[in-house]
Amino acid sequence: MGRQDKDKDNSFVDVWGLDHSKFDSIKSDDEEESVDTVVENGGVVDITETYDSEDEDTTGEEVDPKEGDGKQAESEEEVKEDAPSNESTENLEDISNIMVDLASDGILAYNEEKNYEPSKEGLRELISETIEKRSEEAVMEFKETLPEKGAQLLDILSKGGSVEDFINIESQTDFSKVPLVNKDGEPLEKNQMHLVEDWLRIQGHDEDEINEMVSDYYHSGILAKQAEMAKRKLSVHQEKQNEALIKQRESEKADYEKKTALEAEDFKDKVLNLKEVAGFTIDKVKAKKLYEFITKPIDQQGKTAFQKKDTEETRLLYALLAMEDFNKEKLTKQVTTAAALNLKSKIESRDRNVRPVRSDGNPVRTEDNPLKNFTWMGK
């Protein structure tokens, strides 16, 4: 069972085959300046203000004092933003002291071979590494409380293997434990023959050659010696085969994680840089919301808002849109026609229920008729 087949969500909405644990969150509105937008002629237009770095008046014309004060204020604000403030320096020192204190008290585990930046990012990195290390330690402690088989299973799973791999390994004959003699020291010739046969088979001999060679060993009195050698070599071979399987699973796990991380990054870049989808204009703010809608878990089960909207109706809607090639004009026409028909139906229904008529076509005046107080023109 390959790594890609494990822990996969078969949900219809996961059409990209994404591993949501690999996605990075994007900056919040407080950390990243949003782009103001307006709707113009049915589309979305980005509004950005640009400033020329050289706003000084070089024409010699008289400058409005108010305008000059405004530009000067803007210039002062830019200088303040560019220059490192005492407050930011103090914050870095505070973060550095916090990191040192937490590491010294053993609350955070740090790698002595690494240099951590005294910043929020450095603190996040230290916390992340601590969580990972504590998790590994917790798993090791848990494994020590398990029976031997349970610990072996957990070890295989942690390295990317599967329950099926564990069962296959456990169902093997442990050649190192195959007895060659019984408790009285008498030779177990069947066991001896089987060991020799298995070793010869691994070496590539066909069945006729194996039968002939085993018969020769038996009649020449060297079967027990050949069985000892076969048992030893089979045990080593079996151990190497199982180790190779686990290494293969580890390699598959690493390749899968690398692949999904790259896919997540590519997907993020693709969505955040969208300009339009099937003719629908996408601005920067909407692209950010779309990315979070698809990838950001919003509940304890790790489901995203997109996954939570995975219903039969939405699936049919996806299919309908795809069938119509996302033709806005065609789809809009269908919606408009349906609304017009619905309105016509409501009008006809109201006329039938509210305005009963006589044979001459005039409304009937009854006590329960809302038109009973109607005053006819000219009457």
pLDDT value for 124? 82
Q: Which residues contact 371 (CB under 8 A, 6 or more apart)?
A: 354, 355, 363, 365
Kindly give the interhelix angle for 223-272 and 163-170, rounded to the nearest 10 degrees.
180
What's the full length of the chain, in residues? 379
Q: What are the tokens at 12?
A: 């219809």
Distance CA 65, CA 72 (A): 10
- Distances from the Cα of 244 to the Cαs of 82, 165, 247, in angstroms? 56, 12, 5
Contact 117, 99 (CB under 8 A): no
pTM score over 0.85:
no
pLDDT value for 344? 61
DSSP state of 357: B
Per-residue confidence of the chain (379 residues) as pLDDT tens digits? 455 444 444 444 455 656 666 666 665 554 444 444 433 344 444 434 433 444 444 444 444 544 545 545 555 544 444 444 444 565 777 777 887 888 887 788 877 777 788 788 888 888 888 888 888 788 778 777 777 778 888 888 888 888 888 888 888 889 999 999 999 999 999 999 999 999 999 999 999 999 999 999 999 999 999 999 999 999 999 999 999 999 999 999 999 999 999 999 999 999 999 998 877 889 999 999 999 999 988 888 888 999 888 888 888 888 888 888 877 676 666 666 666 666 666 666 665 555 555 555 555 555 554 444 444 344 4
Contact 153, 127 (CB under 8 A): no
Q: String of b and e for 115-136 (b: at least 16 CB within 10 Å)?
A: ebebeeebbebbeebbeeeeee
Residue 298: helix, strand or coil by DSSP? Answer: coil
Q: Which residues contact 238 (CB under 8 A, 6 or more apart)?
A: 172, 174, 175, 176
Distance CA 348, CA 197 (A): 91
Q: What are the tokens at 213?
A: 């060679």
